Amino acid sequence: MNNFMVVGVMLCLDKLKVAVEDKVILKEINLTIAEGEIHVLLGPNGAGKTTLLMAIMGMPGVQVIGGGIYFQGRDITGLELEERAQLGIGMAFQKMPQIPGVTLRTLGELIIEKHGQDGSLAETAERINCTYLLDRNIGFGFSGGEAKRAELFQLLLQQPLFSMVDEPESGVDLDNIALVGSVLNDLFERKQVKSKKRAGLIITHTGHILDYLNADMGHVLMGGKIVCRGNPRDLLSDIQRSGYEHCLRCES
């Protein structure tokens, strides 16, 4: 039985094959994330981690050339980007594009309008220390850490069922990692025992974010394949000790 049809599964990738500009980046990705679970994605630079998130989000230019993507049991492989967003998939990007004349506030208001969340813009901005960034144009003059927080601010407004976060800790100082961690806990409703439904996939290199957020599962992506799975902390300490080469051996 295919596990992607099972009730309680948030996201399922079935033999997913992905190319960018006709170059195959991801070969045969199988991945299942259940409701309420947070998974982390590890892997060396250029392994295809960001590409995988983009493929799940449905970014044009990232072509699915084989296999499928299932969201809550529904085949979304052919859906447009915005349709996936409307179903409840959201992503915090590794880098923010520049959009002249469009402020973070304007975009925030539109996100609230689109996703009908009742959270107030001002409160959310305050929560993630973005109030002073609200009237800046998207992508202009944001420091690395500010851009990260602005991305999470948008996710908080969007409240996706399934959130993908690309390197939440890179370029973020220690104080702000704690903040990012606690905001991610909010996002995944980690503190509310009752409605543990929201799920996520987080890319991390350092694993620092794991000090603030309990992840359920880790995957190591190398050479376009998931070569290793397991407890995220164990995976990280293995990688720290013996490098990614170790994971390659583990595949066999």
Ligand X SMILES: Nc1ncnc2c1ncn2[C@@H]1O[C@H](COP(=O)(O)OP(=O)(O)OP(=O)(O)O)[C@@H](O)[C@H]1O
- The binding site for another protein (CB under 8 A) comprises 57, 59-61, 80-82, 85-86, 90-91, 93, 96-102, 106-107, 110-111, 114-115, 137-138, 154, 158
> At its nearest, how many Å lie between ligand X and the CB of residue 43?
6
> At its nearest, how many Å lie between ligand X and the CB of residue 65?
14
Q: Which of these ranges, 8-16, 39-47, 129-137, 191-199, lies near ligand X under the rule CB under 6 A?
A: 39-47
> At its nearest, how many Å lie between Mg ion and the CB of residue 133?
23
Subset of residues 5 to 24 that bind ligand X, contact rule: CB under 6 A: 20-21, 23
Nearer to Mg ion, 46 or 78 (CB): 46
Give the Å distances, CA to CA, from 12 to 112, 148, 157: 28, 27, 25
Nearer to ligand X, 157 or 203 (CB): 203
- Provide the pairing of β-strand 89-92 with 9-20: unpaired
Nearer to another protein, 124 or 154 (CB): 154
Neighbours of 24 (CB within 10 A): 14
The 8-class DSSP code of residue 98 comes to: P
Per rule CB under 5 A, is residue 50 in the interface with Mg ion? yes
Alpha helix (H) ranges present in 64-143?
A: 81-87, 104-115, 121-127
43 binds, among ligand X, another protein, Mg ion, none (CB under 5 to 8 A by kind): ligand X
The 8-class DSSP code of residue 211 comes to: G
Helices 144-158, 104-115: axis angle to 10 degrees equals: 20
Residue 59: both structure tokens together: 């970014």
Q: Which residues contact 71 (CB under 8 A, 6 or more apart)?
A: 10, 11, 84, 87, 88, 89, 162
> At its nearest, how many Å lie between another protein and the CB of residue 191?
25
Q: Is the dihedral of CA 7, 52, 83, 161 positive or negative?
A: positive
> At its nearest, how many Å lie between another protein and the CB of residue 112?
11
224 binds, among another protein, ligand X, Mg ion, none (CB under 5 to 8 A by kind): none
User: Residue from 50, 124, 154, 204 that binds ligand X (CB under 6 A)?
Assistant: 50
Distance in angstroms (rounded) separating the CA atoms of residues 105 and 109: 6
Residue 156: both structure tokens together: 């908080």
Distance in angstroms (rounded) separating the CA atoms of residues 199 and 163: 7
Nearer to ligand X, 176 or 204 (CB): 204
User: Residue from 12, 13, 18, 25 that binds ligand X (CB under 6 A)?
Assistant: 25
Give the Å distances, CA to CA, from 2 to 15, 35, 73, 242: 11, 17, 10, 35
Subset of residues 113 to 152 that bind ligand X, contact rule: CB under 6 A: none
Per rule CB under 6 A, is residue 45 in the interface with ligand X? yes
Q: Which residues bind ligand X (CB under 6 A)?
A: 20-21, 23, 25, 43, 45-51
